[in-house]
Amino acid sequence: MGTFNFLEAALDVAKGRDSVWKQHARGILETHKGLHVDDVVAKLCLKVAALSRVTGVSPEQLAAETVAFNAALYAWGRDGFPHFSLTPDFFHAVNNTDFGDPTDEPLYMPFDAFTVSFPPTPEFLGASKMFVYKLPRVMVVPLVEGAESTFQVEWGLYRVTLLTADPVFTQWTVGMTRRQLVDEDSALNRTPADPGARPAEAHETPVLAKVRALLANVLSYVENAGPLPTVPRAKGAAPVAVELTHPQQRIYDVGRTVKLDARIRDAMTHSGSNKATWQVAQRFIVRGHWKSQPYGEGRALRKRIWVEPFFKGPENVKEALERNYEVSL
């Protein structure tokens, strides 16, 4: 295992100390150079078994608190530390978008582990970053007394850690559909049953639904933008929906093409909820939403199109008063 301190790394991830995550990720990458992530998990499990004999702490608890986080760091570093930075206009627009999706397709996940940053807002308890990663569920297989502990690993979960002062995390099963993810009874609204997981407090419960909706909308937007760019945008070129901003690392700006009307953004920033009901005389804001767009031969195919929030209604009161209205009796 070398000098890499996997317990310290797990603690720093669990406590949201993201300033040292890359340092830990580089350490575990160097220590396990070239290995498949399953092999890394197996080696970490052996370390956990040895540590359990010394500390007396159960292998299950040690594995739950260390292996998952370190596997996430390894996957994150292996893929070039992918990170999605949401521009302010895009964040305010997509955070006020209705996630309507009639399909039962799994949510698109661009990487096994990635981070997302956005402007800090009270709706997310002041947080401005989340860590999303595939979660190995480690189970100890009981053997005859005196034999070494054997572990089984299943990659059946995704987890989101919202980096608040005391991080809030929640998880869902791999393959969960978009419809299930935004359902009111989603697994993201319940406290994970892992050993050592603290219960969600009352003020945190509604935040989990907001995290779920924001992530679902952002990932759908990224998916619809097409394949992620592999090189930074050329100087002077027109901005694109998802833009690579670093030549060596996968750091993406998302939503540079979204330019909200200043009044719309102000209304959404100060609305205090996901419902933008602010009005100017007879004009009102239509929230962002998704629609099914026909395309292809005979317009027989469908793709999801995101529609930015926009003003609707007459420009002024005079126009509203002078407009001809058709009334059906």
Q: Identify whether the C-beta of residue 55 lies closer than 8 Å to the C-beta of residue 66.
A: no
Q: φ and ψ at 274, to 5 degrees?
A: -80, 5
- 159: tokens are 């987890």
Q: Report the alpha-carbon distance of residue 291 to residue 302 in Å, rounded.
A: 10
Do 216 and 280 lie in one domain? The reply is no
Name the most confidently modeled range: 34-38, 167-171, 294-298, 301-305. 34-38
Residue 175 lies in a domain: yes
Across the chain, what does the average pLDDT equal?
79
What domain range includes position 313? Answer: 262-322
> In terms of Cα–Cα distance, which of 37, 44, 54 is closest to 7?
44
User: What is the secondary structure of 23-60 as a DSSP string?
Assistant: HHHHHHHHHTTT--HHHHHHHHHHHHHHHHHHH---HH
Query: Residue 288: how many CA atoms within 13 Å on its side-chain side?
Result: 25
Do 109 and 188 lie in one domain? The reply is yes
Eight-state DSSP code of residue 188: G
pLDDT tier at 329, thresholds 50, 70, 90: very low
| Spatial CB neighbours of 224, under 8 Å, sequence gap ≥ 6 | 241, 303, 304, 305, 306
Residue 160 DSSP SS3: strand
Do 97 and 121 lie in one domain? The reply is yes
Per-residue pLDDT tens over the stretch 208-218: 888 888 998 99
Do 131 and 280 lie in one domain? The reply is no
Averaged over 177-200, what is the pLDDT?
62
Q: Report the alpha-carbon distance of residue 255 to residue 310 in Å, rounded.
A: 16
> In terms of Cα–Cα distance, which of 15, 9, 43, 41 is closest to 27?
9
Do 183 and 270 lie in one domain? The reply is no
In the predicted structure, residue 143 carries a pLDDT above the cut 50: no
Do 69 and 200 lie in one domain? The reply is yes
Q: How far apart are the first and last CA of the chain?
A: 80
Q: φ and ψ at 45, to 5 degrees?
A: -65, -40
Residue 234 lies in a domain: yes
Long-range contacts of 241-247 (CB under 8 A, 24+ apart): 242/84, 245/85
Q: Look up the pTM and report it.
A: 0.82
Residue 217 lies in a domain: yes
> In terms of Cα–Cα distance, which of 228, 160, 220 is closest to 188?
160
| Domain end among 232, 254, 276 | 254
- The strand pair at 129-141 and 113-117 is best described as antiparallel
Do 248 and 268 lie in one domain? The reply is no
Q: What is the pLDDT of residue 314?
A: 64
Q: Report the alpha-carbon distance of residue 91 to residue 182 in Å, rounded.
A: 18
Torsion of CA 207, 211, 212, 216, to 10 degrees: 160
Do 149 and 296 lie in one domain? The reply is no
Number of domains observed in the structure of the chain: 2
Do 27 and 130 lie in one domain? The reply is yes
In the predicted structure, residue 282 carries a pLDDT above the cut 60: no
Do 179 and 152 lie in one domain? The reply is yes
- 141: tokens are 């297989």
